[in-house]
Structure 1
Amino acid sequence: MHTALSVQSSAPAAPVFPANPALSDRFLRLPEVIHICGLSRSTIYDLISRDAFPAQISLGGKNVAWLASEVSTWMNERIAARGQERAA
């Protein structure tokens, strides 16, 4: 005779975030930045050279990353600019 396993129907506990948002920031490596922003590697580095995208942070050696909060802020600014262009 087979017995069915009972499935817990309770929702998982809500994640606990630090009170200081800076403490919850994390590093994003280039493939993740490309995926999140939808930009190519060359476009990201071109925008960085024109101070139009957050600069990468050296992690030591040849390793670099971007702060998630800075990438998110850049994306939100682009979204806000789109709204302003439509209103004009």
Structure 2
Amino acid sequence: MSSQTIAPVLPPEHRILRRAEVEAKTGFKRAHIYSLMKEGKFPKALRLGVRAVGWDSVEIEQWI
């Protein structure tokens, strides 16, 4: 009988990723990201303020 412990699987942590982080994770530049969003092929950005947007980290990871 083995006495191995199994680590619990934690749900992914939701963070807001700014555009530079999304570009780094996907390898896409701003124009391509917005083009894909317009076509419905990329997660929509969340409005953070008048001139700021971000993306849900979990949505980006699932998309990748």
TM-score by length of 1: 0.59
Q: Which has the higher contact order (CA 8 A, sep 6+)?
A: 2
Query: How high is the sequence identity, in percent, across the aligned residues?
Result: 35
List gaps (5 residues or longer) in structure 2.
Answer: 1-9
Aligned length: 55
Corresponding position: 1:70 with 2:59: yes
**Corresponding residue SS for 2:21:** helix
The CA RMSD measured in Å over matched residues stands at 1.2
Match of 2:29 among 30, 40, 63: 40
Matched, 1:55 2:35: no
1:17-37 per-residue CA deviation (whole Å, 9 max, x = no partner) reads: xx5x36x21000000100010
Q: Following superposition of structure 1 onto structure 2, how do residues 13-28 of structure 1 map, counting pairs within 5 Å?
A: 21=11, 24-28=13-17
Structure 2 counterpart SS, 1:62: coil
